[in-house]
């Protein structure tokens, strides 16, 4: 699986975990040069708190387009430290 935005490959891995239709990539599959920390968080009752990243490619920023659960609840432990995408990022 690859995650792409604005012509760049953001992540590439054969080891994704699918939860609620989203592919969660292992952290070591990310092209770190395209990610900036965001202050945004969200809360899911069964997964816990997600932290977000801005995706940056060729000077363009896609705010909060990636998220990670650093310490999810037990029901979602398989996505610990994995990153998923939205906001126009193509995964396939």
What confidence tens digit (pLDDT) does each residue in 64-90 have?
Answer: 999 999 999 999 999 999 999 999 999
What is the fold, at CATH topology level, of the domain defined by 2-82? 2.170.150
Model pLDDT for residues 31-43, shown as the tens digit of each residue: 999 999 999 999 9
Domain boundaries, the chain: 2-82
Give the pTM: 0.96
Burial of 8 (0-12, 13-18, 19+ CB in 10 A): middle
Rounded to an integer, what distance in angstroms lies between the CA atom of residue 60 and that of residue 3? Answer: 16
Structure-token match 């000077």, residue found: 59
Strands, sheet with 2-5, edge to edge from the N-terminal-most edge strand: 8-12, 2-5, 90-91
**DSSP tally for the chain: helices H, then strands E:** 0, 9
């Amino acid at each position: 699986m690859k995650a792409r935005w604005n012509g760049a490959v953001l992540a590439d891995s054969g080891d994704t975990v699918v939860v609620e239709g989203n592919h969660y990539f292992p952290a070591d599959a990310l092209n770190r040069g395209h990610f900036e920390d965001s202050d945004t968080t969200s809360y899911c009752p069964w997964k816990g708190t997600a932290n977000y990243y801005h995706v940056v490619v060729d000077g363009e920023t896609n705010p909060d387009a990636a998220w990670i659960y650093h310490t999810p609840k037990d029901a979602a432990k398989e996505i610990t430290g994995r990153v998923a995408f939205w906001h126009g990022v193509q995964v396939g």
